[in-house]
Structure 1
Amino acid sequence: MARVAAVDDAAWESPWRQRPVGTRVFLSFALVLAALLMPAWPGCALVAGGSLGLMLGPARIRASLVAVVTVPPIAFIAVGVLPLAVQVGGTPFLSLAPDGGARALGVLAHGVAGTLALLLLVTTTTMVDLLAWCRRLGVPAPLVEIAALMYRLVFVLLSTAVAVQRAQQARLVADAPLPQRMRFAAAAVGTTLLRTWDRASRLQRGLELRGYEEDLPTLPRVVA
């Protein structure tokens, strides 16, 4: 919850909010396209370095936040490319593929560069600005509303999970034996899902009572 909220807060406080949303979207997706089409070296290295430089420089994103949001996806990509480096069968049964290392490093470089380019948009642009921009582009209202609803429900789920976790910490669950901690964890998952479903249902009921029929437009930020 803290990480997601920190990213959202950084986007709200970003000095790039004064810039048009389309400019930020174009810059980010241009870097993503460059990461896909350019060779791993030096193309992806330049894209990754440029994205990091923009986040830490003009966008003024904290280095600690950049590390928090980049480490999990990069670790996921690194684990995902491991099968490219090995081959199964033969003697020995599991061995390093002839060109596996180069292929794995190439995919890793493209994935890391593309991820950093996309995170440049995430850390500098709020979802509210993106949805308002999509409305101006003429994106169908149902699609925009679904995106806004999913964005809202993510925070509902996370806030519920944090509340359940804090309640368990107050009961000193961490000091319990391992089997009991596993039961508490299973109960926490069930409680989180049930409470999230209840809060989502109340959100829907509230919209219905307010006469919700088409969409819920937000006030866009006026960029000078």
Structure 2
Amino acid sequence: MSVHVTAVDDAAWAGPWRRIAVGHKVGLAAALVLTALLTPAWPGSLLVAGASLVLMLGPARIRPGLVAAVALPPLAFLVVGALPLAVEVGDGLRVTAEGGLRAAEMLAHGVAGTLAVLLLATTTPMVDVLGWLHRRGIPGPLLEVAELMYRLLFVLLSSALALQAAQAARLGGDAPLRRRFRSAVDGVGTVLLMSWRRATRLQAGLELRGYEESLPTLRPVGRAGGWGLGAGAALVVGIWLACWAVA
């Protein structure tokens, strides 16, 4: 899971959509999410899900394996959440046609909205989103705390991955389960200590840099590129027109 988190961030930094204005991508993702929620499951949610996948795999050039890896956990959660809607409690548990239809509709809306959110997550680094929020008037101290916490999350992940690799090299693949469990318990404390030391060094680096009131970072100059605001608006309008035609 931690590898997926860093892979998503790496894909967002290196992808061709990095140079597109953040506001355009936020607006497109928000419009697709609202469309998935407000239009009928057929064909609205299906069209939103398909459009999100096409954009991620096509213009955004996100690897199919990465899309599948980051989409699988929330999709599994949606499936588990939809199951109770399909089951009726009476003399026993049974699946009804009405309940199955509600579950399928809820699942369709959820899948479409999730893919629309992932479109933003896989194409926009968090630092760009925070910078965009700062330009929208969100207080700087709140955003800097969020940015530092996001950075410390990667510090924790890198520490855990380094410890996991060291334990795998030391224990090998034939260690007893009890020894593995004891090593995992010891590893939790070690990771916390390693993360604390690295966070302390990060704080010292900020102080040496002269940090007082703001944390300036370089921001890419946003531009519409090959997929701008007009193309996103046309896509959303096309989905609404298709839903209206079917209705």
Gaps of 5+ in 1: none
Q: Matches of 2:194 and 2:19 in 1, distance apart?
A: 38
Aligned to 1:112: 111
Count of paired positions: 222
Deviation at 1:102, TM superposition (A): 1.7
Task: Tell me the TM-score normalized by structure 1.
Answer: 0.90
Provide, for residues 32-76 of structure 1, a one-character-per-residue CA deviation record: whole Å limited to 9, x for no partner.
111111111111110000000011111111112211111122112
Q: Matches of 2:88 and 2:212 in 1, distance apart?
A: 56
Aligned to 2:191: 192
| DSSP-derived class of the 2:206 partner | helix
Q: Matches of 2:58 and 2:94 in 1, distance apart?
A: 43
Matches within 5 A, 1:55-134: 55-88=56-89, 90-92=90-92, 94-96=93-95, 99-134=98-133
Deviation at 1:124, TM superposition (A): 0.9
Q: After alignment, is 37-46 or 126-135 more displaced?
A: 126-135
Provide the alpha-carbon RMSD of the alignment.
Answer: 1.9
| DSSP-derived class of the 1:95 partner | strand
Q: Matches of 2:3 and 2:121 in 1, distance apart?
A: 16
Q: Matches of 1:156 and 1:135 in 2, distance apart?
A: 24
Task: Tell me the TM-score normalized by structure 2.
Answer: 0.82
- Of structures 1 and 2, the one scoring higher in RCO (CA 8 A, sep 6+) is 2
Give 1:143's aligned amino acid.
L
Contact 1:85 1:97 in 2 (8 A): yes
Contact 1:174 1:181 in 2 (8 A): no
Aligned to 1:223: 222
Q: Matches of 2:27 and 2:115 in 1, distance apart?
A: 15
Q: After alignment, is 211-220 or 29-38 more displaced?
A: 211-220
User: Per the alignment, do residues 115 and 176 of structure 1 end up closer, same or farther by CA in structure 2, a change over 3 Å counting?
Assistant: same
